[in-house]
């Protein structure tokens, strides 16, 4: 299954190529045309596997990464990752096609597409990884790349703030998820999700099971903008619209949902999982739809609507976990349907919300504003855009003949079914589920109407808009039209989607259930006159009344004081941490080099000497020591002499020369002890540092005699002596330490294993090459740090960036 | 102020070639004898730094028109590239391969992918050391 590896790596490779090629490509055509090929090829590659996946096959391949730590690059293609893979590449293709017409060539397109491809690769990595550590790496990479995408117009302050907010919240969640993963590893002994699922019976009783559950859920909730972490999503709307359409409707925010779906075989059936996922989901659903109504910016409205829809999907997965509790039985189908509805709505949401975001982008692009107070009457001027808006909006509202209707009916059915569950102490509370769902759906209906009518009906207000509105160029319309066709197409042929895409994914969510076809209900557009349909009728009637009387009840929102929103708390938290850290930093960053050395050395002594004493590692057995020669003694005296003289040296040059004497003497020691590699390195490093010193020598002031207080002098002397004593202690103790097997025997095989007879080098290049590789990276970062600090000082004219 | 540095320049002319040759030798010798990418890179860098000390920056740049920042980046790319490359051969990350090939004139010689890795290390060391020293010396 090399295909999946290619699918993950291909975007990264292309992202790396863009900076090298974009100058040449830019002359040929819009950069987007070349980038478009990436997701399109990947989509076709993945689509080839649909029939095999539908037959119940899964593909797995392990590339060994760090096998000694149980971390392997394992790619896993099953029904669930297939859905997400198709969404990422499919919607990705459409978004890139759309962006070609949306973004002018004057923008820094090479940055944009580079970030977008990074993001795409990271998302594919998240959904195809079976190893938790690999999944986590890609997960954080999506946070980083989305940060770059949201801040694409980084000259705007709001963009930067939005990007930072998204990053802060999602990375916080990611870190807590990492802790959860590590706990799972401790409980199960494996980083592989499949193995964890297979051993779920064993780990369920582990003490870390519940903490892991909660921590992983926090990760999923932050990423999927669940209540109360939803506040980053509206701010992330500062990104260019193609990004919003991609990240905030189809992909990134669904990573959390993917995580919940993926882990429901592990945690599903736990009461705490059921309550957290379904209640948080419902709260998000309600709060999102309730707040969407009062938005005046079209993108903000869609942002809250996305939050609410994500809550809907999340709550359905919560209800679906009841199926895990009961295990496979006749009546379980009633509850597993909730998971099916969640998957179904996931796909539907991607289609209609993608189309709606693109529609809003078109309006913004052609009219110049997204404010519904300034819009209106665009129906006749932009008929195609209007049609897209109606299809997308009515699907979102849950009306036939659009796909949103089907999944929303199933959503109602699942909510009604949950009342009868005799577990998790659902009693009267169960009645609240369908009620909240129903009320939230009414608000969904209302804001869908607002979205359509305020933009397209009513009177055109030419004096309030910046541009003369006209229909968008055809290229910009293609992507939303394709999505709209899908919206309608799925309504008429839902079972094609159900059989080929959703059914295999159900098998991934319920791996222990025998037959997949029984899990998959046959989707009917007309399911008789039942409670769900009546609920829908109620939504339409009450929603229409509320929409008509919007003016009279909208002031209700003013009751919610802006003082106590989660945003305010977030801002206060950020402000507090900024002030706190500034205070702390000012306290210890005194600019005095002596102070910094004091911190470093005190820490060093406390940690190293403390550990040696604490662990009884100080063992002296002088019998094992070899004898020393007289010339070694002389060398020691030279070093001691140089060191003591250095303390009392009057000039910098003297001190530097004495330091050189010390360094070269150490090199001599290496020569004596037959460590030519170390001797060479020591000599060259000593020479280079001396050259460095010579370069900055003339800028330094003369060495002044310290006029410090006696007490400070004494404390400094104490610290120095302690450091010296610690180092001596280490030197002596290491020789006599025999707690562990010496590793030197392992390196005897260096020639056979690595083909090199220089042990030092085989260690650096083979046995511990990971250290060397990361050291090189650190070196580069340090070098770039020095370069940027000294070279790239802020220029005066750039200060007006803070608009 | 014009500094009289005839001696430094004359010595540099003779010494730099020795240093650079030593650096290259150390780099290749690394696998079996003292040396290797890190130390080879350091020696090369010290040779280049010596050039910069003896002559002014423009003159040296004419002879060595490299962007040392890019050189460092290329080095990291090479080092991580060999690490990732091993995945394509279905072996663990960072696995190195080595073999012996009979080369005309030289006889049997060992070849190892470690050399590429070490080349990355050496390039990074040279690039970073020269970048740091140049940035500090040019700083006003």
pLDDT at A473 (0 to 100)? 83
- When CB atoms are compared, the residue of B53, B96, B137 closest to A766 is B96
Neighbouring CB atoms inside 10 A of A492's CB total 10
Q: Cα–Cα distance between A35 and A39 in angstroms, integer?
A: 8
Helices B37-54, A676-697: crossing angle, 10 deg rounding: 30
pLDDT at A180 (0 to 100)? 93
Chain A residues with CB inside 8 Å of B49's CB? Answer: 688, 691
Among the ranges given (A254-258, A664-668, A792-796, B131-135), the one the predictor scored with the smallest mean pLDDT:
A792-796
B40 touching A (Cβ < 8 Å): no
DSSP state of A129: B
Q: Cα–Cα distance between A585 and A593 in angstroms, integer?
A: 15
Tokens standing for residue A707: 């006029």
Q: Which of B7, B81, B6 is nearest to A9 (CA)?
A: B81
- Rounded to an integer, the average pLDDT of A262-273 is 87
Q: Do A508 and A79 form a contact (C-beta atoms < 8 A)?
A: yes
Chain B residues with CB inside 8 Å of A776's CB? Answer: 75-76, 79, 120-121, 124
Tokens standing for residue A421: 């569950």
Percent of chain A with pLDDT over 90: 16
Please measure the distance between the N-terminal and C-terminal CA atoms of chain A and give it in whole angstroms: 50
Q: Using DSSP, state whether A730 is helix, strand or coil.
A: helix
Q: Which of B109, B113, B118, B105 is nearest to B41 (CA)?
A: B118
Q: Cα–Cα distance between B139 and A698 in angstroms, integer?
A: 13
Q: Using DSSP, state whether A117 is helix, strand or coil.
A: helix
DSSP state of A250: I
Please measure the distance between the N-terminal and C-terminal CA atoms of chain B and give it in whole angstroms: 17
Q: Strand B98-103 relative to strand B107-112: parallel, antiparallel, unpaired? A: antiparallel
- When CB atoms are compared, the residue of B34, B38, B96 closest to A754 is B96
> How far is CA A165 from each of CA A257, A295, A323, rounded to the nearest angstrom?
20, 20, 37
Chain A residues with CB inside 8 Å of B69's CB? Answer: 783-784, 787
Q: A695 to chain B, minimum CA–CA distance in Å?
A: 6
What string of DSSP letters covers A660-720?
Answer: HHHHHHHHHHHHHTT-HHHHHHHHHHHHHHHHHHHHHHTTSPPPPPP---HHHHHHHHHHH
Segment A762-779, tens digit of pLDDT: 887 777 888 888 999 999
Angle made by CA atoms A549, A551, A555, in degrees to the nearest 5: 120
Tokens standing for residue A273: 């999982």
pLDDT at B127 (0 to 100)? 92
Which residues lie closer than 8 Å to B30 by C-beta, 6 or more apart? Answer: A758, A761, B36, B37, B39, B40, B118
- When CB atoms are compared, the residue of A680, A688, A787 closest to B49 is A688
Q: Cα–Cα distance between A505 and A491 in angstroms, integer?
A: 20
Which residues lie closer than 8 Å to A705 by C-beta, 6 or more apart? Answer: none
Chain B residues with CB inside 8 Å of A680's CB? Answer: 26, 34-35, 39, 43
pLDDT at A802 (0 to 100)? 46
- Residue A218: band (very low, low, confident or very high) from pLDDT cuts 50, 70, 90: very high
> How far is CA A633 from each of CA A393, A662, A664, A683, rounded to the nearest angstrom?
87, 14, 16, 21
Which residues lie closer than 8 Å to B131 by C-beta, 6 or more apart? Answer: A783, A784, A786, A787, B68, B69, B72
Which residues lie closer than 8 Å to A505 by C-beta, 6 or more apart? Answer: A78, A79, A80, A82, A83, A261, A343
B75 touching A (Cβ < 8 Å): yes
**Under an 8 A CB cutoff, do B53 and A691 touch?**
yes
Chain B residues with CB inside 8 Å of A677's CB? Answer: 34-36, 39
Instruction: Classify burial at A693, counting beta carbons within 10 Å of its beta carbon; exposed 0-12, middle 13-18, buried 19 or more.
Output: middle
pLDDT at A374 (0 to 100)? 80
CA atoms within 13 A on the CB side of B122: 22
Q: Do A436 and A286 form a contact (C-beta atoms < 8 A)?
A: yes
Q: Do A152 and A115 form a contact (C-beta atoms < 8 A)?
A: yes
B35: left (phi over 0), alpha (psi -120 to 50) or beta: left
- Rounded to an integer, the average pLDDT of B90-115 is 73
Cβ burial A198-225 (10 Å sphere, 16+ → b, else e): ebbeebeeeebbeebbebbbbbbbbbbb
Q: Is the pLDDT of residue A193 over 60?
A: yes
Q: Using DSSP, state whether A369 is helix, strand or coil.
A: coil
Segment A156-173, tens digit of pLDDT: 888 888 888 889 899 999
Q: Is the pLDDT of residue B98 over 50?
A: yes
Among the ranges given (A111-125, A176-190, A691-705, B35-49), the one the predictor scored with the smallest mean pLDDT:
A691-705
What string of DSSP letters covers A205-225?
Answer: TSTTHHHHHHHHHHHHHHHTT
Q: Which of A267, A93, A125 is nearest to A184 (CA)?
A: A267
Q: Cα–Cα distance between A376 and A469 in angstroms, integer?
A: 11
The DSSP element (H or E) to which A164 belongs, if any, is: helix A157-188
Angle made by CA atoms A588, A589, A592, in degrees to the nearest 5: 105
The DSSP element (H or E) to which A480 belongs, if any, is: helix A474-492
**Under an 8 A CB cutoff, do B117 and A780 touch?**
no
> How far is CA A506 from each of CA A82, A262, A359, A689, A759, rounded to the nearest angstrom?
12, 11, 32, 63, 54
pTM (predicted TM-score): 0.80
pLDDT at A800 (0 to 100)? 46
Segment A31-71, tens digit of pLDDT: 888 888 889 999 998 888 888 888 888 888 887 777 778 88
Q: Which of A343, A531, A557 is nearest to A435 (CA)?
A: A531
DSSP state of A626: P
ipTM of the complex: 0.90
Segment A699-748, tens digit of pLDDT: 777 766 666 678 888 888 899 899 999 988 888 877 777 677 777 777 77
Q: A593 to chain B, minimum CA–CA distance in Å?
A: 19
Bridge partner residues of B110 (DSSP): B100
Those of residues 1-20 in B touching chain A at CB distance below 8 A are none
């Amino acid at each position: 299954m090399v295909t999946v590896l290619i699918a993950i790596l291909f975007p990264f490779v292309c992202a790396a190529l863009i900076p090298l090629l974009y100058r040449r490509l830019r002359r040929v055509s819009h950069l987007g045309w070349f980038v478009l090929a990436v997701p399109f090829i990947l989509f076709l590659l993945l689509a080839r596997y649909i029939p095999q996946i539908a037959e119940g096959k899964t593909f797995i391949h392990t590339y060994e990464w760090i096998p000694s730590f149980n971390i392997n690059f394992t790619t896993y293609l099953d029904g669930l990752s297939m859905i997400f893979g198709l969404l990422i590449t499919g919607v990705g293709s459409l978004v890139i096609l759309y962006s070609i017409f949306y973004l002018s060539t004057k923008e820094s397109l090479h940055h944009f597409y580079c970030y977008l491809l990074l993001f795409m690769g990271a998302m594919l990595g998240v959904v195809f990884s079976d190893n938790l550590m690999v999944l986590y790496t890609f997960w954080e990479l999506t946070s980083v790349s989305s940060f770059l995408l949201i801040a694409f117009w980084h000259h705007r302050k709001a963009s930067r703030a939005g990007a930072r907010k998204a990053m802060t919240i999602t990375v916080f969640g990611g870190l807590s998820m990492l802790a959860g993963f590590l706990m799972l590893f401790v409980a199960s002994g494996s980083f592989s999700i499949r193995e964890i699922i297979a051993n779920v019976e064993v780990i369920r009783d582990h003490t870390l099971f519940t903490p892991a559950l909660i921590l992983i859920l926090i990760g999923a909730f932050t990423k999927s903008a669940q209540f109360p972490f939803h506040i980053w999503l509206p701010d992330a709307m500062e990104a260019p619209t193609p990004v919003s359409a991609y990240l905030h409707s189809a992909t990134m925010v669904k990573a959390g949902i993917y995580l919940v779906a993926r882990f429901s075989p592990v945690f599903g059936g736990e009461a705490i999982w059921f309550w957290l996922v379904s209640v948080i989901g419902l709260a998000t659903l309600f709060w999102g739809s309730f707040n969407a109504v009062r938005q005046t910016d079209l993108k903000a409205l869609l942002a809250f609507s996305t939050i609410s829809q994500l809550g809907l999907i999340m709550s359905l997965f919560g209800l679906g976990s009841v199926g895990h509790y009961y295990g496979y039985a006749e009546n379980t189908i009633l509850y597993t349907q909730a998971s099916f509805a969640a998957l179904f709505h996931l796909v539907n949401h991607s289609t209609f919300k993608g189309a709606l975001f693109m529609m809003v982008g078109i309006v913004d692009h052609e009219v110049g504003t997204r404010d519904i107070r300034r819009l209106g009457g665009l129906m006749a001027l932009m008929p195609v855009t209007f049609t897209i808006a109606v299809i997308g909006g009515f699907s979102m509202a849950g009306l036939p003949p659009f796909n949103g209707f089907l999944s929303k009916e199933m959503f109602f059915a699942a909510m009604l079914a949950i009342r009868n569950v005799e577990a998790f102490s659902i009693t009267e509370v169960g009645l609240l589920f369908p009620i909240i769902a129903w009320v939230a759906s009414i608000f969904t209906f209302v804001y869908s109407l607002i979205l359509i009518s305020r933009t397209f009906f009513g009177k055109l207000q030419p004096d309030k808009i910046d541009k003369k509105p006209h229909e968008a160029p055809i290229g910009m319309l293609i992507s939303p039209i394709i999505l709209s066709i899908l919206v309608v197409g799925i309504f008429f042929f839902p079972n094609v989607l159900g059989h080929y895409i959703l059914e295999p994914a159900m098998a991934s969510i319920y791996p222990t259930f025998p037959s997949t076809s029984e899990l998959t209900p046959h989707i009917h557009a007309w399911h008789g006159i039942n409670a769900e349909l009546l609920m829908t009728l109620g939504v339409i009637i009450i929603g229409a009344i509320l929409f008509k009387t919007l003016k009279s009840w909208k002031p209700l929102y003013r009751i919610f004081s802006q003082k106590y929103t989660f945003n305010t708390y977030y801002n206060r938290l950020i402000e507090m941490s900024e002030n706190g850290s500034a205070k702390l930093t000012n306290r210890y960053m005194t600019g005095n080099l002596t102070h910094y050395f004091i911190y470093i050395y005190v820490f060093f002594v406390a940690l190293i000497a403390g550990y040696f004493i604490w662990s009884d590692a100080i063992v002296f057995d002088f019998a094992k020591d070899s004898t020393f020669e007289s010339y070694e003694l002389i060398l020691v005296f030279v070093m001691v002499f140089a060191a003591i003289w250095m303390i009392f040296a009057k000039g910098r040059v003297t001190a530097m020369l004495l330091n050189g004497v010390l360094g070269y003497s150490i090199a001599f020691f290496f020569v004596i002890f037959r460590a030519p590699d170390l001797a060479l390195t020591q000599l060259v490093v000593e020479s280079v540092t001396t050259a460095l010193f010579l370069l900055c020598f003339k800028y330094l002031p003369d060495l002044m005699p310290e006029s410090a207080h006696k007490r400070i002098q004494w404390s400094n002397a104490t610290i120095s002596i302690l450091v010296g004593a610690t180092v001596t202690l280490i030197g002596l103790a290491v020789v006599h330490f025999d707690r562990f097997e010496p590793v030197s025997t392992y390196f005897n095989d260096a020639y056979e294993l690595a083909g090199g007879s220089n042990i030092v080098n085989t260690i650096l290049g083979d046995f511990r090459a990971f250290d060397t590789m990361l050291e090189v990276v650190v070196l580069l970062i340090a070098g770039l740090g020095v370069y940027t600090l000294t070279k790239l000082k802020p220029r005066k004219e750039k200060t007006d960036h803070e608009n | 102020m014009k500094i009289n540095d005839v001696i430094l320049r004359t010595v540099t002319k003779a010494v730099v070639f020795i240093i650079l040759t030593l650096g290259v030798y150390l780099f290749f010798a690394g696998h079996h004898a003292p040396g290797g990418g890190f130390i080879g890179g350091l020696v090369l860098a010290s040779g280049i730094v010596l050039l910069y000390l003896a002559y002014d920056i423009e003159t040296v740049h004419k002879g060595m028109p490299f962007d040392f920042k890019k050189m460092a980046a290329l080095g990291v790319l090479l080092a991580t590239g060999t690490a990732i490359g091993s995945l394509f051969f279905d072996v663990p990350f960072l696995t190195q391969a080595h073999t012996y090939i009979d080369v005309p004139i030289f006889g049997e010689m060992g070849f190892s992918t470690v050399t590429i890795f070490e080349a990355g290390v050496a390039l990074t060391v040279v690039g970073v050391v020269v970048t740091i020293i140049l940035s500090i010396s040019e700083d006003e």
